[in-house]
């Protein structure tokens, strides 16, 4: 049950205008995250993920409670929350679907996939379908160029995509069909994934393979050809 305020030993801070989902349990968990770091302010990023898992986005109430707990100003917290693209000011749907449209993915079909999904879902960039299921966003290099074009669902990879496999993927998500990342876990909801990013594991981190063929190609070649890394201790020192 949401309270309309939180307290610490010295202050009472209103953080909810009525529809905030931040509860006393949330505040306790935010404190728990802050306590994990020698400098509490280092906890801000995972704390903001926890806010998203509860609120579905970064809300003014979420900013206020993080600021209070960390002894920062709302402006300081807001500056961080608006800098990183993983923090959302608009409500995110049940699944966040990202399409990489950076250079390599774009030329390998990412632009085509993004256009097809916009049409198929009848949404624009950073918009959510009417049923609240899918938020579509174009992403810039996901550091998975060896699998271009790639997509992500709630930050889990989907490799070597095509317009057809992309539409099948979002249809499966909307239908409630179980979806597994080819290099990660079974897809949960965006809010559940945000809770994991906040540092509350769901026990599924080791589900599925973590490295695929393209990632391991260099290792395979090195083994076949008996290559090894140069001995760095034998490198002559400069100067």
Binding-site ranges for ligand FES (CB under 6 A)? 100, 102-105, 141-142, 144-145, 148, 150
Residue 188 is labelled as binding a ligand: no
Find the Cα–Cα–Cα–Cα dihedral 76, 79, 85, 88, rounded to 10°.
80
Shortest Cβ distance from residue 177 to ligand FES (Å)? 25
Is the CB of 111 or the CB of 207 nearer to ligand FES?
111
Is the CB of 148 or the CB of 169 nearer to ligand FES?
148
Shortest Cβ distance from residue 151 to ligand FES (Å)? 9
Q: What angle do CA 84, 70, 73 make, to 5 degrees?
A: 70
Is the CB of 146 or the CB of 172 nearer to ligand FES?
146
153 and 173 in contact (C-beta within 8 Å)? Answer: yes
Tokens (6 digits) for 150? 């790639």
Shortest Cβ distance from residue 136 to ligand FES (Å)? 16
Shortest Cβ distance from residue 114 to ligand FES (Å)? 12
- Name the β-bridge partners of 5: 14
Is the CB of 99 or the CB of 198 nearer to ligand FES?
99
Cβ atoms < 10 Å from Cβ of 80: 17
Residue 100 is labelled as binding a ligand: yes
Burial 81-111 (b: 16+ CB within 10 A, else e): beeeeebbeeebbbbbbbbbbbeebbebbbb
Q: Are strands 95-100 and 134-139 parallel, antiparallel or unpaired?
A: parallel
Is the CB of 73 or the CB of 125 nearer to ligand FES?
125
Residue 66 is labelled as binding a ligand: no
| Burial class (CB within 10 angstroms; exposed 0-12, middle 13-18, buried 19+) of 15 | buried
Shortest Cβ distance from residue 129 to ligand FES (Å)? 24
Place of tokens 């810039």: 140
Numbered residues of the known binding site for [2Fe-2S] cluster:
100, 105, 141, 145
Numbered residues of the known binding site:
100, 105, 141, 145
């Amino acid at each position: 049950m949401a309270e309309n305020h939180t307290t610490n030993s010295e202050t009472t801070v209103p953080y909810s205008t009525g529809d905030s989902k931040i509860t006393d349990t949330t505040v306790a968990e935010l404190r728990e995250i802050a306590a994990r770091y020698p400098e509490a302010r280092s906890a801000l990023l995972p704390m903001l993920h926890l806010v998203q898992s509860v609120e579905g986005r970064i809300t003014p109430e979420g900013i206020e409670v993080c600021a209070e707990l960390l002894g920062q100003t709302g402006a300081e917290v807001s500056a961080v929350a608006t800098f990183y693209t993983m923090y959302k000011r608009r409500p995110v749907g049940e699944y966040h679907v990202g399409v990489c449209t950076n250079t390599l993915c774009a030329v390998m079909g990412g632009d085509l996939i993004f256009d097809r999904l916009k049409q198929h879902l009848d949404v624009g960039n950073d918009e959510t379908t009417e049923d609240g299921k899918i938020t579509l966003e174009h992403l810039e290099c996901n550091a998975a160029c060896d699998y271009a074009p790639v997509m992500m669902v709630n930050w889990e990879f989907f490799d070597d995509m095509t317009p057809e496999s992309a539409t099948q993927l979002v249809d499966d998500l909307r239908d409630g069909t179980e979806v597994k990342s080819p290099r990660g876990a079974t897809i949960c909801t965006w809010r559940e994934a945000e809770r994991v990013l906040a540092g509350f594991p769901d026990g599924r981190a080791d589900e599925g393979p973590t490295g695929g063929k393209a990632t391991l190609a260099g290792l395979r070649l090195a083994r076949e050809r008996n290559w090894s890394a140069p001995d760095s201790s034998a490198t002559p020192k400069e100067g």
